[in-house]
Chains A and B, each alone.
Chain A
Amino acid sequence: MTWLTWRQFRAQAVVAAAGLAVLAIVLVITGLQLSHTFDTTVLGCQAHGDCAAADNALQGQDTALQDLTRLLMYAVPAVIGLFWGAPLLGRELETGTFRLAWTQGVTRARWFGVKLVLTGLASMATAGLLSLMVTWWYSPLERVGAARLTPGEFSLGGIVIIGYAAFAFALGVTAGLLARRTLPAMAITLAIFVAVQLAMPFLIRPHLIAPVRAVSALKVANVHSESIIGSGGGGTLSLGAAPDIPGSSSAWIYSAQVTTASGSTDLGPAPAHCGPNSGYNECQAAIARMHLRVVATYQPGSRYWAFQWYETAIYLAAALVLAGFCWWWVRRRVT
């Protein structure tokens, strides 16, 4: 059975291995340059304070490859589900070859089990290797870029992609089994997988671990937006500000609300110094004298790996449930 699985999977395996090999060569060469740039410019700048220029220069390096690696991290699990998962049973059922396979001297349970496990492991290994390379390549950029725990960055590294690949593969197999045709199975797989991938960061992931709630004093330097609603000196003040929490640059901040010292979200009338005729610095000083606070709910950046493990476990569990269903269906129901 191992031979047949390999023979049927050979072409896809070669394509995947070749793709990973080419990517590895490109990423190693450019990745070493990125590390070098990081070491020489960004590390040096930290000594004399102003790093914005060095950060921007690093982020501007290899932008095409940055886009490509992001695309790969999003697309590879889906491609695995579509091209490795969906045809696994879909094509056999569509072309009737399952009748050939299931009347040989191996039980259909074994036939399916070997194919499922070997191809499934190949899917996870492919995704894992990709993530390993991309995570390494991205590490200098990550240290100057957005926090890796935030939704846009979270799935671009770490181990979750292994869970995604396993789930997409199992989803494809299931769709192929139920649709009994490859092309509709691929369409179903893509639709469901995209829906799940969109639901995860917005509906599920924020609730995996209870966020931290922190109240900190408003630092005027952290204010990023201010507006006065209403005319004249009596307009209502509205402020947006980043919380003053340790490691805020790596945190995933759900919300940050500016309140008064007593906790009210109504900041009251704007200080007289913030009128149209007042200077910027006077207004800032006046706001500082109000002793406002910032109430923040957030996930500390240190929870990155906890989230990675939780999410990987969820996807792997879903993949196992789907695989178990397929196993049962193949043994009992399909004909």
Chain B
Amino acid sequence: MRRSIRIVGGLIGLLFVLACVAWSGPKQPVPVSILMPAPYADASTQLVKAFNREHRGSIQLEVIRGPLETESISDLAISSLLLGDTPFDALLMDVTWLPKYAEAGWLEPLDPWFDQSALDQLILGARLGNHYNDHLYRWPLGADVGVLYWRKDLMEAPPSTPQQLSDIAIKLVQSNRVTNGFVWQGRQYEGLSCNFVEVLHGFGGQWINPANGQLELDSTSAARAAEWMQSLIATGASPRAVTNYSESDSLQAFKAGDAAFMRNWPYAWAELQKPESNVRGKVGITLMVAEPGQSPAATVGSWGLSLLKQSPHPEAAVEAIRYLTSETAQRERFLNQGYTPTSQSLFTDPDLVAVSSALPQIAKALEHSVSRPPSPLYAQLSDLLQRQLNGLLTAEPEQTNIDVGMATDASAAAMNRVQTKSDMLLKATGAEA
């Protein structure tokens, strides 16, 4: 009797031990989920597979394919963050969102994971727009700046000043060598602000003074920059339709061979080299034009990965961020999809330059990167600028200047209105006492 009790007890003990072993046996991998706009998610498919192979049993990475449009992604992310229970660990963020998201308290600083030496390896344009209040909140996935595309078959050399660009464009259009001169993004949306920042710096102005945080859109430079953009349309250097163009519309016109110049991001290069492109092999890349004595400028528009504060697995999420932004990943994304890398060394890498002859020019543009104002209220400030600027561009010009870039009453008034309304906004929201 006592013996059978002992046997039963032993069996139960054995079962218990076995159960423990079985239960703790195969460890559940830590799930990490990252939200990206559709094109970036598609470009990451292979990398995600490779990551999950290398981290089998420890981390299971999933990239959520979000909407295509920049602002739709933001809406989706913000909705989930506002509800307080976001399903995402990390987010691929546009450069202008960062101050807003950081100020809202949604982001976890990345300082513990990325040190100064990691930052030093980045090309200048990729180093901008990742910090807010001295904390690193974002690690760049790809570098992105505005550049000027020009047609090698229509001109000897690209223009370097606004006057030259206007002259060449008008001459080409008037001699019927091309339908449209210069296509850019004049629609009332964020792209217009990006275009304007480049022109503004080219005329020696700036949106916000980094030294004291004051807005400077009431400057003569700003009025001259706005006037030049209006004069492009008034003189026929640009078609009127650019006032409703976004990037894809401009690219469509330029790719069809209907334009002599295009302002766009580096992604357009790969599109222009495709077999169906009418301008394949006839395109050069250069910096946006600037007045003599002024430095040309390229607006930074990069995307980067941010860690969300609510993430239950920050370590695993950072591991995924590191992997997706590694040099290997950059190389793969560049060779397969044409996304611009962020590491300085890759811009002189023979393998990469052999694939795209535009890379050295893009590197040069990245050295001339300028940022849009890093304010949590940026979306409002930009919205005010877009409205006034688009209003100026679509208005019938009261006077047409012979001299390119002379401020007119209309352009000065429009810029002063942006300045006044922006200052009023900062006061009304309590950003500025």
Same assembly: no
User: Taking beta carbons and an 8 Å cutoff, which residues of B are in contact with A?
Assistant: none
